[in-house]
Structure 1
Amino acid sequence: MSEEITYADLKFQDSSEKENIYEFDGVGIKVYTTLKIETGKLNKMQNFKEELQKNVSLQLIHNKNSSKMIRDLSITLQEIATKLCHELYKREPEHKCKPCPKAWMWHEDSCYTLSDRYETWQESVMSCSAQNASLLTIKSKSVLEFIKSKKLRGYWLGLSSEEHQGYQNLDETIISSNWLTQRRNDVNDRMFCGYIDTSYISYADCTYSKMFICEKLANPVEVKSTLLSEIPDGKYS
């Protein structure tokens, strides 16, 4: 009996795959065949999964590159439209491409309006706020030069101080900490508020009445309508 077992083992190891199958009983052949088929399916699924992951990765890279190209193109078109609108605005201050309300001045990315009403500083803050704007704060050289070019006198600005500052050169005040970057409602009769006087800033009791300047962020220039506003003969609509 022992010799037969040894013979059988040796035969199993040395035989071909076909002979190997027939050494099993009927159930063993079915299990082996099923296992082989399922293993083949699993390998195909694994290959399909890897191919799918590869395709998805390539698609994501393509989409990312496409999105960047579209974003860069949009930015470029926006810049072109804005520059074009600035040129049209110089020719016609109320050109339809202007991103500011009617009668408001446009400079860089902001809109400005001069009110000819006389109001206290606090009332001026409220009037600007009602237009989704705030009293002008001069924080850059570009805005400073823009305002100086208007040669204004007696307009409230977004300035307040607990001490009377006297006259100050407008050029020097753009770095002042007295500029208000937010609307405030706590200014009282013990405070002084700043107003523009041509190239100077002066302070007065905040309860005095003066004209005022409001500012707010300009809307983005509409790319399509602006770029299509030019017609072949060089005229503009």
Structure 2
Amino acid sequence: MSEEIVYANLKIQDSDKKEETQKSDKCEEKVSSPASHSWQKAVLILTLLCLLLLIGVGVLGGIFYTTLETEMMKSNQLQSVKEELQENVSLQLMHNLNNSKKIMNLTAMLQNIATQLCRELNNKNPEHKCKPCPKGSKWYKDSCYSILKGYATWQESVSLCSARNASLLKVKDKDVLEFMKSQRLSGYWLALPPSKEYRSSVTLSEIFLSEWFEKNTYDLNSMYCRYINDIYVYYERCYVQKITICEETASKVQVESVLNGLPDSSK
């Protein structure tokens, strides 16, 4: 009797355990089912996001490549335009340079023609308005020779010429030498440095290669200065008074003055 009761109790306990186990399994199934569904949903969303990201990267890459290609084409076009402009500018500069050289050559030619015409006009009329020298002076080559009124010591003559931006007469080459000989000058100071030694005279031909005076200072009390007398050069005390002749650079002949000085062919 007692064994049957014990068996019955054990059976009841086993039955209770099975029910509890079944209930527990059902609960676990109920709990695990929603969690699995949420995880699958999250994975799906992440997958979609990755696909969208890949698509976006692809689209951006395509846009970047297209933009880069367009910009490269524009850059190449701009480079071509730049090179073409540079070539055109270089050609224009060369053209302008050639024109400038031609203009300079024509200007020099016109200046030479005007100078030659002015010399011819000056031979006929020594005071023609095209003359590039002060009034009363003589024009020879590129120099003007002016004879000043009155007499002066050598030092005074130097100062008088300097005040006119000129110098005393210098015979520096054979052409000027021949010109001075033709003028038959008598008693004119020369721009030769004063000398302590006295000589009676030398020919003008002997001194044109001499060292000429260039604004040096001298103690003139006991020195000799030289003057021209026809084709000879004489020595005289520097404080003696002689005639002053100044030499200065001639200005350029003005083309307008030559044209205005030509006779009117319509008359």
Q: Whose helix fraction is larger, Structure 1's or Structure 2's? A: 2
Residues 76-124 of structure 1, C-alpha deviations (whole Å, 9 max, x = no match): 0000000000000000010000001110111111100122411110001
1:20-35 aligned within 5 A: 25-35=58-68
Cα distance in 2 between the residues matched to 1:227 and 1:78: 12
The answer to whether residue 161 in structure 2 is matched with residue 128 in structure 1 is yes
Cα distance in 2 between the residues matched to 1:234 and 1:119: 51
Aligned to 2:41: none
Cα distance in 2 between the residues matched to 1:108 and 1:138: 13
Cα distance in 2 between the residues matched to 1:214 and 1:197: 16
Aligned to 1:139: 172
Match of 1:216 among 230, 241, 248: 248
Cα distance in 2 between the residues matched to 1:39 and 1:168: 87
Instruction: Choose 1 or 2 for highest CA Rg.
Output: 2
CA shift for structure 1 position 231: 3.0
Match of 1:95 among 111, 122, 128: 128
The answer to whether residue 224 in structure 2 is matched with residue 169 in structure 1 is no
Q: Give structure 1 stretches of 5+ with no counterpart.
A: 1-21
Task: Sort the Cα spacing of 1:109 and 1:187 in 2 relative to 1 into closer, same or farther, 3 A.
Answer: farther
Q: Which amino acid aligns with 1:162?
A: K
Segment drifting more, 25-34 vs 112-121? 112-121
Q: Which amino acid aligns with 1:95?
A: H
CA shift for structure 1 position 234: 9.5
Cα distance in 2 between the residues matched to 1:85 and 1:103: 16
CA shift for structure 1 position 158: 0.3
Q: Give structure 2 stretches of 5+ with no counterpart.
A: 1-54
Cα distance in 2 between the residues matched to 1:234 and 1:114: 40
Residue-pair matches, total:
212
Q: Which amino acid aligns with 2:144?
A: C
Aligned Cα root-mean-square deviation (Å): 1.9
Aligned to 1:7: none
Q: Which amino acid aligns with 1:163?
A: E
Runs of 4+ in 1 over 6 A off after TM superposition: none
Describe the SS at the equivalent of 1:159: coil
Aligned to 1:48: 81
The answer to whether residue 185 in structure 2 is matched with residue 152 in structure 1 is yes
8 Å CA contact 2:227–2:234 kept in 1: the answer is yes
Using structure 2 for the length normalisation, give the TM-score.
0.75
Match of 1:203 among 230, 235, 252: 235
